[in-house]
């Protein structure tokens, strides 16, 4: 079985970001169960308004021209958005602010991932989401 790299402090930062989003837009966040393809969903009056993948990055939003997301997570997120009848959003906290984008069906794909953990399974097919599609919130 593949190791889980998500530490409790990382989850706490994601929950802080979800709370920021809810405070800004007057919604409620429901975290999905562990091992779900996405982090959670946002609700307004009990109705899903978005399914979300939440990221916390240790760099500025301008460091790279795109944000890399596992192609598997990208496709599963779009499927889950269809199930929930809500858009799939990507919410990211960078050093220079909080950004979001509505995830689309068409992105450039390629092989990418992390090499710092010496886990060959961290290299996989990825979607490259252009940073110019993100809005600072």
Q: What is the pLDDT of residues 33-45, one digit of tens each?
A: 988 999 999 999 9
Rounded CA-CA distance 119/96 in Å is 30
pLDDT in tens, 27-80: 999 999 988 999 999 999 999 999 999 999 999 999 999 999 999 999 999 999
Rounded Cα distance between 44 and 29, Å, is 9
Per-residue model confidence as pLDDT tens digits over 77-100: 999 999 999 999 999 999 999 999
Q: Domains plus CATH for the chain?
A: 8-136 (3.40.1350.10)
- Residue 73 corresponds to which tokens in the numbers above? 């997570």
């Amino acid at each position: 079985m593949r190791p889980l790299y998500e530490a409790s402090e990382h989850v706490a930062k994601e929950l802080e970001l979800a709370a920021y989003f809810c405070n800004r837009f007057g919604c409620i966040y429901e975290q999905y169960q562990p091992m779900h393809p996405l982090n959670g969903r946002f609700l307004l009056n009990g109705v899903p308004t978005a399914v979300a993948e939440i990221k916390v990055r240790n760099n500025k939003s301008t460091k790279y021209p795109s944000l890399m997301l596992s192609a598997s997570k990208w496709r599963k997120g779009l499927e889950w958005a269809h199930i929930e009848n809500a858009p799939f959003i990507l919410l990211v906290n960078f050093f220079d602010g909080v950004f979001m984008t509505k995830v689309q069906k068409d992105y450039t794909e390629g092989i990418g991932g992390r090499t710092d953990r010496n886990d060959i399974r961290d290299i996989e097919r990825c979607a490259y989401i252009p940073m110019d599609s993100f809005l600072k919130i």
